Amino acid sequence: MTTSHYIAGRWVEGQGSDCISVNDPALGQPFAEFMAASVTQVDQAVAAARSALPAWKSTGASERAAFLRGFAEQLGQRREALITLQMRNNGKPRHEAEIDLDDAIATFTYYAELAEQLPSKNRDVPLAVPGFTARTRLEPVGVVGLIVPWNFPLVTSAWKLAPALAAGCTVVLKPSEVTPLIEQAYGQIADALGLPAGVLNIVNGKAETGAALSNHNGLDKLSFTGSNSVGSQVMRSASAQCRPVTLELGGKSAIVVFDDCDVDQAVEWIVAGITWNAGQMCSATSRLLVQDGIADALLPRLQATLENLRVGNPLTEEVDMGPLTSQAQWLKVASYFATAREEGLQCLAGGKALDRDGWFVSPTLYADVPKDSRLWSEEIFGPVLCARRFASEEQAITEANESRFGLVATVCSADLERAERVADALEVGHVWINSVQAVFVETSWGGTKGSGIGRELGPWGLSAYQSVKHVTRCLG
């Protein structure tokens, strides 16, 4: 690959100093490489977006909606190729890759519908003082930089790109250097649809490229999903420019299981919350709080289920869980296994890297983990579950909220009144009750505390790319 950057409606070769190597994590081997975009090329991408902005934001809402529906249709037409690429570059099992693609399609379809409703958003504002009229206009915020992660690349980019385009913004998208290939589909689709040049630009690269984009004074907004360490740098860049920022960062989420639960059903919800995408989710419910009355029955069943999961190469095997996506993440998770041994944690399942090619680790369960353990408080980003017992509802709420993060939580209970009560008390942005982590485009996504700023999805996702203007007129 050479022409891996999409700038001003053209595919161009990278001119940066970094060589990006794209790996198959199931084999631990590269299968593509190309040069990163240079700082100058980031400048060119921002300039192209700036040049395209006046015409794009003046485009009728129905025309923008048609382009968004075109993205959804074109994604569907590329279905098998994109699913295979997710499996090969991310290590996702087929059923997960299929859900990712369906999520991206649903996102573009949803924001096409919201785009068509935009004219009705302009409305008169009643005033208490006579002699004046006022009206509200919702306008695109302008040129936006979108920086997306490697764990859900096709999905996270859709969550940002679709509402930004619906609002009338122009975009510079920077994919992760770990999984840069799948976002190329958005540039290919833009070409196929005849999207005006400069409305969508894609620049690939490592830290240098990301810093060039996040520091660029030509942006009107920045939206970032990724780690807290990089997010803090992005926030500093935004503060220097005094521009708005959306941050979707880390999590250390709790799943609370009360003793009136069906054990088998609870195990299903717990396993899904920690092994989906090999636990590489900011929303992974990696802290299990289980009530005393069910713990002795649930933990052995959970141990057996984790030990029996099929872990392997999704391209060649029928698997429940694939590899970790990068060697760096594999090394990080392995370091937490070492920490667990140093801390003397009770390991009921896993706790080790697998002795095979590729970046595989075993689904892992530690029991009776003390609250001062690093594994209880730090985001691991792997299939590592830490369990603690609790006696009362009040204790469960307190311990679930004892975290610097506040992204999501799950509550499992046959007493729905209690489940709703606990959900209301949890200091997070999204709560599931008796469910796997089903995310719908109509709902919001984002957290409290150290899990970020702002919301994606739903009407809130569109609002993130709009500014509010009031026009007041004197009648006298």
Helix H segments across 327-392?
327-343, 374-377
Name the β-bridge partners of 170: 143
What whole-number distance in Å separates Cα of residue 274 and Cα of residue 145? Answer: 31
What class does CATH assign to 254-440? alpha beta
- Every domain range in the chain assigned CATH 3.40.309.10: 254-440
Q: What is the pLDDT of residue 1?
A: 53
Tell me the pLDDT of the chain (476 aa) as tens digits: 556 899 999 999 999 999 999 999 999 999 999 999 999 999 999 999 999 999 999 999 999 999 999 999 999 999 999 999 999 999 999 999 999 999 999 999 999 999 999 877 788 999 999 999 999 999 999 999 999 999 999 999 999 999 999 999 999 999 999 999 999 999 999 999 999 999 999 999 999 999 999 999 999 999 999 999 999 999 998 888 899 999 999 999 999 999 999 999 999 999 999 999 999 999 999 999 999 999 999 999 999 999 999 999 999 999 999 999 999 999 999 999 999 999 999 999 999 999 999 999 999 999 999 999 999 999 999 999 999 999 999 999 999 999 999 999 999 999 999 999 999 999 999 999 999 999 999 999 999 999 999 999 999 999 999 999 999 999 98
Q: Is 234 helix (H, G, I), strand (E, B) or coil?
A: helix
What whole-number distance in Å separates Cα of residue 15 and Cα of residue 40? Answer: 8
pLDDT tens string 90-138 = 999 999 999 999 999 999 999 999 999 987 778 899 999 999 999 999 9
Q: What is the pLDDT of residue 2?
A: 58
What whole-number distance in Å separates Cα of residue 459 and Cα of residue 115? Answer: 10
What whole-number distance in Å separates Cα of residue 95 and Cα of residue 88? Answer: 13
If phi over 0 gives left and psi between -120 and 50 gives alpha, with beta otherwise, what is residue 434?
left
User: What percentage of the chain reaches a pLDDT higher than 90?
Assistant: 96
Token readout for 146 is 């979108």
Q: Which of 248, 261, 412, 456 is catalytic?
A: 248
- Every domain range in the chain assigned CATH 3.40.605.10: 5-249+451-474
Name the residue among 172, 168, 147, 167 with its Cα closest to residue 157.
Answer: 147
Question: 10 Å Cβ neighbour count for 331?
Answer: 12
Q: Output the CATH code of domain 5-249+451-474.
A: 3.40.605.10
Q: What is the pLDDT of residue 238?
A: 87
Q: Which of 282, 379, 386, 456 is catalytic?
A: 282
For the chain, how far is it from start to end, CA to CA, in angstroms?
66
What whole-number distance in Å separates Cα of residue 149 and Cα of residue 333? Answer: 18
Name the residue among 53, 402, 365 with its Cα closest to residue 201.
Answer: 53
Residue 248 is a catalytic residue: yes
